[in-house]
Amino acid sequence: MKPVNIGICGLGTVGSGVYNILQRNAKQINSRANAAICVTHVGSRRDNPACDIGETRVSRDIFEVAKDPTIDIVVELIGGTSVAFDLVMMSIKHGKHVVTANKALIAENGAEIFAAAEQQGVIVAFEAAVAGGIPIIKALREGLAGNQINWLAGIINGTSNFILTEMASKGRAFPDVLAEAQAKGYAEADPTFDIEGIDAAHKLAILASVAFSIPLNIESIFVQGITQLEQLDIGYARELGYAIKHLGIARQSGEGVELRVHPTLVPAASLIAGVNDVLNAVMVDADALGSSLYYGRGAGSEPTASSVLADIIDISRVLENPPATWVPALGCPLEVLTAQKMIPVADIETCYYLRFSMLDTPGALSNATKIMADAGISIEAIIQKEQPAGIDYVNVILVTNRLPERCLNAAVSEIEDLSTVQGSVTTLRLEHLDQ
């Protein structure tokens, strides 16, 4: 068996997972890879790597790994987009294949990285960058290669899903659960990337590029996190038969491509509504296959390492083959990627959930619903509960049909202008995930 030498840069949570699994499952991994895979160089800025690596060579300067002439594959697990970018580019320049779990790096710098890899004749693989251990890149790029993908919708940030699950199942408030997520290590000390939807946007950009053969495009994504979500709305959603999940949604149609990340009401009976805690799932709608769903752990040491190893095994098997026979990074050759019109968020159609506080007086509801009717908006469901004596304002909850955001916004402004309506209208998007 040919030896394949691995250099791991960053031996933290995921890196030590990769190292440990490679020891534990060595026999099977080597037989599947048709190669003797061995970690021969570790780049780590710490003197105490997170696992016992025996006599393996360690460099404090991670760039030493990229320059090491004996290394075949550099595994980039340091995160971030500055040093990681330099490391990946230098690895490519030195003719190394690269495996990375870095979604921000691929989403933001993928174009440059893949172009350099193509020119240099090396592979850059990134299964672990999206949805952790779920082999979703492989499923889209190879398993569904015969299909046109219509849309995909994914729970692709475990921290947000953990927070929403706790809010829904235990009635807890957002800040309270966030603090727990941080204490448990699910959320970073600075949780912004997770809870503001940026991490999900990085992953969505990658998924959409592979699914639709479009260039990576992080700028065009409409991004909304979960920080504004209120317990009240989770409860009303449940009454209406919906769960609220933070979804990344990509859709392709004759009008162009829409990319968006936001809290979404989904039917409580749908499979994706049952994806709880830190778990991830991606639902894909494709022209030949129809709907399919891929579920599993989206983060953590060994789940993420599982995808890193899949990439290492794939590369080890084929690294001596002509580059034209490799699976292209984004599914098709770079020159085939074609930018499509990106649909502005104002034109994106979805159903909506609205909540507003209304003076409980004759004609008030009728005034609000007339605004909707005049705008051509149908009301699919409505809740208004009888109030105890002495309470003047009631919560009105409406679910609309599918319509562009600009139409919804116009109607919402008019409703907010009604003298019987107090404060602003809370709006959330709602998807049936069946079209």
Residue 50 near its own copies by CB under 8 A: no
Q: In angstroms, rounded to a whole number, what is the distance separating the alpha carbons of residues 237 and 213?
A: 35
CB of 406 to its own copies, least distance (A): 32
203 among known catalytic residues: yes
Q: Does 373 bind its own copies (CB under 8 A)?
A: no
Q: Which residues from 193-222 bind its own copies, rule CB under 8 A?
A: 213
Is 411:400 a contact under the CB 8 Å cutoff?
A: no
Number of continuous H segments (helices) and E segments (strands) in the chain: 14, 17
Number of residues that bind its own copies (CB under 8 A): 67
**Under the criterion CB under 8 A, does residue 416 sit at the interface with its own copies?**
no
- 48, 325, 419, 435: which one binds its own copies (CB under 8 A): 325
Residue 3 makes contact with its own copies by CB under 8 A: no
Q: Which residue has the tokens 């506080």?
A: 357
Told to check if 97 binds its own copies by CB under 8 A, we report no
Q: DSSP states of 261-279 as a string? A: EEEEEEETTSGGGG--TTE
> Mask of contacts with its own copies, 229-268, x by CB under 8 A?
----------------------------------------
> CB-based contacts of 403: which residues, under 8 Å, 6+ apart?
349, 350, 351, 352, 376, 377
314, 405, 414, 431: residue in contact with its own copies (rule CB under 8 A): 314
Q: Which stretch binds its own copies (CB under 8 A): 15-23, 100-108, 394-402, 416-424?
A: 15-23
Smaller CB separation from its own copies, 305 or 348: 305
**Which CB, 135 or 191, lies closer to its own copies?**
135
Give the Cα separation of 98 and 39 in Å (integer).
14
Q: Compute the least distance from the CB of residue 38 to its own copies, in Å.
A: 14
Please report how close the Cβ of residue 299 comes to its own copies at its closest, in angstroms: 11
Residues 6+ apart with CB under 8 A from 434: none
Question: 137, 202 in Cβ contact below 8 A?
Answer: no
Looking at the Cβ atoms of 269 and 373, the one nearer to its own copies is 269
Q: Which of 323-348 are b and which e, b meaning 16 or more Cβ less than 10 Å from the residue's Cβ?
A: eeebbbbbbeeeeebeebebbebeeb
C-alpha 169/C-alpha 273 separation (Å) is 12
In the list 69, 190, 254, 324, the residue contacting its own copies (rule: CB under 8 A) is 324
DSSP H helices, 213-298, are: 231-239
Phi then psi for residue 285, to 5 deg, are -110, 120
The answer to the question of residue 294 lying near its own copies (CB under 8 A) is yes
Stretch that binds its own copies, among 51-59, 178-186, 307-315, 378-386 (CB under 8 A): 307-315
Q: Which SS3 state, helix, strand or coil, does residue 297 take?
A: strand
Burial string for 357-395 (b: 16+ CB within 10 Å, else e) reads bbeeeeebbebbbebbeeeebeeeeeeeeeeeeeeebbb
Shortest CB 325 distance to its own copies, Å: 5
Q: What is the Cα–Cα distance from 125 to 130, expressed in whole angstroms?
A: 11
**CA atoms within a 13 Å half-sphere pointing along the CA-CB vector of 16:** 12
Q: Where are the beta strands (DSSP E) in 268-363?
A: 279-286, 290-297, 349-359
Based on the shown chain and the rule CB under 8 A, indicate whether residue 292 belongs to the binding site for its own copies: yes
| Nearest to its own copies of 246, 297 (CB atom) | 297
Residue from 36, 223, 293, 375 touching its own copies (CB under 8 A): that is 293
How far is residue 80's CA from residue 96's CA, in Å, rounded to a whole number? 20
Q: Which of 115, 173, 179, 336: binder of its own copies (CB under 8 A)?
A: 336
Least CB distance from residue 69 to its own copies, whole Å?
Answer: 23
Nearer to its own copies, 25 or 228 (CB): 25
- Which of 96, 138, 203, 245 does the annotation list as catalytic? 203
- Minimum CB distance to its own copies smaller for 261 or for 312: 312
Helix boundaries (H) for 129-197: 136-138, 158-170, 174-183, 192-195
> Could you say which of 122, 261, 305, 412 contacts its own copies (CB under 8 A)?
305
- Which of 80, 121, 171, 290 touches its own copies (CB under 8 A)? 290
Task: Cite the active site residues.
Answer: 203
Residues of this chain that bind its own copies (CB under 8 A): 17, 21-22, 24-25, 28-29, 31-34, 127, 133-135, 138-139, 141-148, 213, 269, 271, 274-275, 286-297, 302-303, 305-310, 312-314, 317-318, 320-322, 324-328, 331-333, 336
